[in-house]
Amino acid sequence: MVKIRLIGFFRFVLGKEVIEVQLEKPTKLINVIGELPDKERAIVLINGKNASFDSEVTNSDEVMIIPIIGGGF
Amino acid sequence: MYGWSGKILRINLSTNKIKTQTFDLNFALKYIGGRGFAVKILWDEVPPGTHPLSPDNKLIIASGPLTTIPMPSSGKIVVAAKSPLTGGYGDGNIGTMAAYHMRRAGYDALVIEGKAKKPTYAYIENDTVQLLPADELWGLKTTDAEEKLKKTHGTVGVISIGPAGEKLVKFATIISEGGRSGGRPGIGAVMGSKNLKAIVFKGTEELPLYDKSLTNKLGTEGYKAVKQKPGYPFWMRQGTVATVEWAQANSVLPTYNFKEGIFDYADNVNGYAMEKIKIRQKGCPSCNMVCGMIIKGDVIAEIDYENVGMLGPNLGIGDYAKIAVLNKIADDLGMDTISLGSVIGFAMEASEKHLINEKIEWGDAATAIQLAEDIALRRGLGDLLAEGTKNAAQKLGNGAEEFAMHVKGLEISAYDCHAAPGMALAYGTSPIGAHHKDAWFISTEIQMGRFVISREKVEKLVWMQRVRGGIFETLVSCRFPWVELGYELENYPAYFKAATGIDMTLDDMFKIADRIYNLIRAYWVREMVVSGNSWSREIDYPPPRWFKHPLTKGPLKGTKLSYEDYDRMLSWYYEIRNWDERGIPTKQALINTGLEDVAVELSKYVNLR
């Protein structure tokens, strides 16, 4: 199963901290997760490496979707 | 002239002389406002080598042309002085009704000089300025002092210091409205050194806007646009406290005095846990992104991410009930929560390493609370810690400097950088010492490849300093609509035009930002050299811990910074800024940014290249 961890705003929007999906074949991340608001303000990491929503993911991958933020006050 | 009132109010507390100085459009356009005005005044007027707590230092309160105009999140003022914590340039900003009233009293800035013979407060109502006795206020908590002053003067804006400022705690801040705190580098101590307890503003004049109806129209659209940003609903729930989860996920949550970037009990102090004890929210004037989260712990306190990070995980405390108490002590007694969290974390580690006799263990909230009060009142160990982490470490010796988490004497704010080389550089090159205001770089860093060391990364960092430390700190408006929700930067030149009538592009603003950065840097160089310190690029290095002690926990276990990589980035940084390899602005850099006179003055202290 591909494991997708959602942080901050994206966790809030999807109402889940982690999404796990069994894939039949390598699939573009966007097709696994569907459309997201404010996608242009997201950082996508697959197994800790920079990637995008168009990157293909497989069952062994761990994905993190991180919002771009600006730090505290 | 529109946008600015063109007036600076000068109060000399030694002579009780009060005068209003005017400035022209050339000055306004060269320095814009906020920290631009502040550093120009400090450079010109405070004699080199002045002791920061002597009457010769000047306390500056400065607004900018966008301060409290009807646009999103504009309710801020800058407070600045030569810093008693760092010995260099120091500033901070506060969201407060004092900003609203100062502008409407007809002043762009206030310069406080000298020292009052007895505790005093200033009451400023439009053209009427009074210096009044503050004997009954001296010693009071900031909240109590402000309440008393509001009882006396009615609807006003108040900024005040607490007992920590009175006792010259080196990281005392200026406080307003209970939980708004500004001036991390000890600007509250400078106010205390002048025997000035509070400044009360009441302004009833209209702002001198170039096009009032256009400003209103842009502002109305702006508030709407901010509210419609996709991130708005989540922001309104957690504000900056959402960063706890974010920082934990990215291994940058300061834990055990920055030994680690993850905390075992982070879930207890994240945004979701906060929502359960939130009782209301508080914002600055003119803001619809109200980010002050008022929580009910053992006491009621207003928190944001920095407070939680530094008073929670950094001390091994995973309990909001106790974080609230520490935070409330800091606000009531008038201290910076970031530095407070850092010095207590430092003490915990010094205790662990038997460098001090006092026992204070990680997570020991009761002792931390006692120590916080002792620091404000300079009792026992608190007296040592009140000097700041750098000074305390120098006094203790025996390797304490390796875990004294500061740059230039200013304690590092709540982001661990073992695994964030660009953010380490942001701290290293921040113009007030280690603070994230000028460039909070971690999102961009992760986006660009976390461990990539490249000139491109450093260019992006400089760009970020131009925007955050340049534009927002001189227009004096909050960066949050842009940085947190993606409210477009291009809106700001439009507001500027509506307020002042002057066309200015973002590029023009960047050039002014570079001028101000050069001047702040010149200030640091002059002050360091004149006080007998040899100047070297090492002033821009973060603490040894991040280079020597790798993370021992989490997905990035084993990670640390490399001096070689850091030096490469620092050299690029200097090149981009046209500073020499010592980190001193070149003569050409000063001339190119319209600072010919600064080049002449600075060359009395160092050879400019």
| Contact of B117 with B195, CB cutoff 8 Å | yes
pTM: 0.98
Nearest-Cα distance to chain A for B484, in Å, is 5
Q: How far is CA A17 from CA B41, B111, B245, in A?
A: 51, 51, 11
Q: Does A45 touch chain B (CB under 8 A)?
A: yes
What Rg, from alpha-carbon coordinates, does chain A have? 12
Question: pLDDT band at residue B590, thresholds of 50, 70 and 90?
Answer: very high
Residues of A in contact with B446 (CB under 8 A): 43, 45, 50, 66
Strand partners, A62: A3
Optimal mutation site among B175, B232, B243, B267, interface A, most CBs of chain A within 10 A: B243
Distance between start and end Cα atoms, chain B: 38
Do residue A38 and residue B230 have CB atoms under 8 angstroms apart? yes
Q: Which helix (H) or strand (E) holds B351?
A: helix B337-352
What is the arithmetic mean of pLDDT over B577-595?
A: 98
Q: Quick: pLDDT tens for B4-32.
A: 999 999 999 999 999 999 999 999 999 99
Let me know how many helices (H) and strands (E) chain B has, helices first. 27, 17
Residues of A in contact with B413 (CB under 8 A): 72
Percentage of chain B with pLDDT > 70? 100
What is the arithmetic mean of pLDDT over B321-346?
A: 98
d(CA B263, CA B317): 9
pLDDT of residue A72: 75
Beta strands in B223-286 (DSSP E): 278-282
Do residue A72 and residue B413 have CB atoms under 8 angstroms apart? yes
ipTM above 0.95?
Answer: yes
Do residue B447 and residue A43 have CB atoms under 8 angstroms apart? yes
Q: Does A1 touch chain B (CB under 8 A)?
A: no
**Which distant-in-sequence residues (6+ apart) come within 8 Å of B334 by Cβ?**
B142, B160, B161, B162, B163, B164, B165, B169, B172, B173, B174, B175, B181, B188, B376
* Mean pLDDT score across all residues of chain B: 98
Question: pLDDT band at residue B154, thresholds of 50, 70 and 90?
Answer: very high
pLDDT of residue B257: 98
d(CA B33, CA B67): 9
pLDDT of residue B168: 98
Give the Cβ contact number of residue B295 at 10 Å: 24
| Contact of B434 with B410, CB cutoff 8 Å | yes
Here the contacts of B585-594 (C-beta below 8 Å, separation 24 or greater) are B585/B518, B585/B521, B585/B522, B585/B525, B589/B518, B590/B518, B590/B522, B593/B511, B593/B514, B593/B515, B593/B518, B594/B30, B594/B515
User: DSSP characters for A2-63?
Assistant: EEEEE-THHHHHHT-SEEEE--SS-EEHHHHH---TTGGGEEEEETTEEE-TTSEE-TT-EE
Percentage of chain A with pLDDT > 90? 95
| Contact of B35 with B155, CB cutoff 8 Å | no
**Which distant-in-sequence residues (6+ apart) come within 8 Å of B398 by Cβ?**
B355
What is the arithmetic mean of pLDDT over B429-436?
A: 98
Nearest-Cα distance to chain A for B273, in Å, is 13
**Which distant-in-sequence residues (6+ apart) come within 8 Å of B458 by Cβ?**
B422, B425, B569, B572, B573, B576
What Rg, from alpha-carbon coordinates, does chain B have? 22
d(CA B442, CA B252): 9
Q: Quick: pLDDT tens for B549-573.
A: 999 999 999 999 999 999 999 999 9
d(CA B310, CA B313): 6
Q: Does A64 touch chain B (CB under 8 A)?
A: yes
d(CA B76, CA B58): 20
pLDDT score of A70 more than 90:
no
| Contact of B494 with B59, CB cutoff 8 Å | no
Phi, psi (5° rounding) for residue B559? -80, 140
**Which distant-in-sequence residues (6+ apart) come within 8 Å of B539 by Cβ?**
B408, B524, B528, B583
d(CA B33, CA B513): 11
Phi, psi (5° rounding) for residue B328? -65, -40
User: DSSP characters for B538-590?
Assistant: GGGPPPTHHHHS---SSTTTT----HHHHHHHHHHHHHHHTB-TTS-B-HHHH
Tokens of B114: 């000298």
d(CA B170, CA B216): 41
Q: Quick: pLDDT tens for B435-493.
A: 999 999 999 999 999 999 999 999 999 999 999 999 999 999 999 999 999 999 999 99
pLDDT of residue B533: 85
What is the arithmetic mean of pLDDT over B368-382?
A: 98
* Mean pLDDT score across all residues of chain A: 95
pLDDT of residue A71: 78
What is the arithmetic mean of pLDDT over B227-255?
A: 97
Q: Quick: pLDDT tens for B403-413.
A: 999 999 999 99
User: DSSP characters for B391-456?
Assistant: HHHHHH-TTGGGG--EETTEEP-S---TT-HHHHHHHHH-BTBS-SSS---HHHHHHT-TT---HH
Secondary structure of residue B22 in the 3-state scheme? strand
CA max distance for chain B: 65
Closest residue by Cα to residue B481 from B242, B215, B232: B232
Report how many Cβ contacts below 8 Å link chain A to chain B. Answer: 82
d(CA B492, CA B505): 9
d(CA A57, CA B3): 53
Q: Does A34 touch chain B (CB under 8 A)?
A: no
Tokens of B314: 């950094």
Helices B506-530, B563-577: crossing angle, 10 deg rounding? 120
Optimal mutation site among A3, A14, A38, A69, interface B, most CBs of chain B within 10 A: A69
B interface toward A at CB cutoff 8 Å?
Answer: 229-231, 233-234, 237, 240, 242-243, 245-246, 249-250, 271, 291, 304-306, 309, 413-415, 436, 440, 442-444, 446-449, 479-480, 482-484, 486, 555
Specify whether the backbone of B408 is left (phi greater than 0), alpha (psi in -120 to 50) or beta: left
pLDDT score of B586 more than 90:
yes
CA dihedral B56, B61, B63, B67 (to 10 degrees): 170
Specify whether the backbone of B499 is left (phi greater than 0), alpha (psi in -120 to 50) or beta: alpha
d(CA B596, CA B581): 21
pLDDT score of A73 more than 80:
no
Q: Does A43 touch chain B (CB under 8 A)?
A: yes
Phi, psi (5° rounding) for residue B61? -115, 120
d(CA B348, CA B329): 19
**Which distant-in-sequence residues (6+ apart) come within 8 Å of B193 by Cβ?**
B52, B53, B54, B55, B57, B84, B115, B168
Residue B609 half-sphere exposure, CB side, CA atoms within 13 Å?
10
Percentage of chain B with pLDDT > 90? 100
Nearest-Cα distance to chain B for A27, in Å, is 22
